[in-house]
Amino acid sequence: MNTRTPNNDVISLLVVGCEANMLHLLGDVLTEAGFMVTSVHADDAIEDGLELVDPMVIVCDEVDGVFNGEQLFGDLKRTARWAGIPFILLSDQCNAERVARSLDAGMEDFISKPFAIEEFHARIRKAVRHRMRNMLHVGEDVGFTGKLEFLELPDLIINLHQNQRTGELGVSDADGDYRFVFSAGEFVSAQGPGGIAGRKAVFRGIRNATGLFTFVPREHTDDVPQSELTSPTNLVLSAMQESDEFPLTRGLLPDGLVGLSASTKLKAASAPIVVLPLLEGAKAMSINALIDACPRTDLESVTELHELFKKEVLVAHDTKRSQPA
């Protein structure tokens, strides 16, 4: 799966340090290069900064004997929510043993001061690419795992489009991670935490031959030829929405999965329903607006979502015209 280098202007950074002058200098250098920078003093509540910014990379400016970057990295790593954010340490104490220890512990990069600005920028972009690959990684079992709340609409569209899979997404009533498994020509299954903010519902969409997306109510899926549902050429769009809770499932679900109740409106549907809520307004949104709307989504997915709109793989369409004959 290709992972293009994102532009600096869509990369958010949290810069942590104990020297005000150095924080100011780093902020200026990175801002001039186009990065979105938020600086936090080491004496302040760094967790508040993380909550506010949700950075793609953390840059830590260490001062020997005053502020220990390794300790901060260890503290963040113990918190699951922050453990996956790439951590770059700037230090003038870069002996081989310490660098090896830090990298083995999972630190993204260890940069010796002084450093070349261009190299610094490149290492930040490399860290972002690394994170993006981890987010989109497809393992030997053709699947990936993660927190359900961290995977939003653009990611799901792009992953399923790139892999040309069909699938099914379910929500477990137990806390924990979800599992999203791709299998060519088969449904996708996922298990995830039930305590999702706003009781977000799970949808499954089926892309038909005209490039349109439709919802297929469970009671109608048995009327659709099996080949149409499981063809590897279909794109199955799975997404979470905050309203119109409607589980679109078919066949046997994995143990432990529970369905959400369908609304009366959707229960009465006699034909597939066009998936307007998922894409409504998205085509007109800028990349930055999509990122703001989906703050935890992958930047690459947002960019490719725009490309799919441009190529009319995803199209705006009239509800009546898109209904199956």
Last residue of a domain, one of 112, 137, 162: 137
Question: Mean per-residue pLDDT for 184-188?
Answer: 32
In a domain, 1, yes or no: no
Q: Examine the domain organization and report whether 96 and 206 are in the same domain.
A: no
The predicted-structure confidence for 6-49, as pLDDT tens digits, reads as follows 566 668 899 999 998 999 999 999 999 888 898 888 887 777 77
Query: Which of 81, 109, 137 is where one domain is finished?
Result: 137
* Residue 76, domain member (yes or no): yes
Q: How far apart are CA 202 and CA 200, in angstroms?
A: 7
Same domain, 260 and 201: no
User: Does 239 have pLDDT greater than 80?
Assistant: no
Q: Does the pLDDT of residue 311 top 80, yes or no?
A: no
User: For 38-78, what is each residue's pLDDT tens digit?
Assistant: 888 888 777 777 777 778 899 999 988 888 899 899 888 88
CATH number for 64: 3.40.50.2300
Q: Do both 93 and 20 map to the same domain?
A: yes
**172 and 273 co-located in one domain:** no
Residue 303, pLDDT score: 67
- Which distant-in-sequence residues (6+ apart) come within 8 Å of 75 by Cβ? none
158 and 102: one domain?
Answer: no
Do 23 and 108 sit in the same domain of this protein?
Answer: yes
pTM of the model: 0.44
Q: pLDDT band for 132, please (50, 70, 90 cuts).
A: low
Our count of domains for the chain comes to 3
Weakest-pLDDT range from 49-58, 155-164, 288-297, 302-311: 155-164
List Cβ neighbours of 146 (8 Å cut-off, separation of 6 or more): 135, 177, 178, 180
Angle separating helix axes 153-163 and 117-136, nearest 10 degrees? 70
User: Is residue 254 predicted with pLDDT exceeding 60?
Assistant: no
Q: Which of residues 273 and 324 earns the better pLDDT score?
A: 324
| Secondary structure in 3-state letters for the chain | CCCCCCCHHHCEEEEEECCHHHHHHHHHHHHHCCCEEEEEECCCCHHHHHHHHCCCEEEEECECCCECHHHHHHHHHCCHHHHCCCEEEEECCCCHHHHHHHHHCCCCEEEECCCCHHHHHHHHHHHHHHHHHHHHCCCCCCEEEECHHHCCHHHHHHHHHHHCCCCCCCEECCCCCEEEECCCCCCCEEECCCCCHHHCEEEEEEECCCCCEEECCHHHHCCCCHHHHHCCCCCEEEEEECCCCCCCCCCCCCCCEECCCCCHHHHCCCCCEECHHHHCCCCCCCHHHHHHHCCCCCHHHHHHHHHHHHCCCCCCCCHHHHCCC
Residues 167 and 225 in one domain: yes
**Domain boundary pick from 137, 155, 175:** 137
Does 2 map to a domain?
A: no
Residues 196 and 236 both lie in one domain? yes
Over 60: is that where the pLDDT of 275 sits? no
CA distance 317 to 286: 20
241 neighbors 277 (Cβ within 8 angstroms): yes
Same domain, 32 and 132: yes
Q: Answer whether residue 205 is part of any domain.
A: yes
State the Cα–Cα distance between residues 85 and 59, nearest whole angstrom. 10
pLDDT tens digits for range 200-220: 223 322 222 222 233 333 333
- Residue 53 domain flag: yes
- 117 shares a domain with 149: no
Q: What is the mean pLDDT of the chain?
A: 56
Q: Report the relative pairing of strands 87-91 and 109-112 from DSSP bridges.
A: parallel
- Are residues 192 and 122 part of one domain? no
Residue 6 lies in a domain: no
Residue 323 within a domain: no
Q: Are residues 160 and 242 both part of a single domain?
A: yes
Contacts of 258 (CB under 8 A, 6+ apart): 171, 172, 173, 194
Which range marks the domain in which residue 121 is found? 12-137
Instruction: Give the chain's radius of gyration (CA, Å).
Output: 22
Q: Classify residue 149: in a domain, yes or no.
A: yes
Cβ atoms of residues 47 and 16 within 8 Å: no
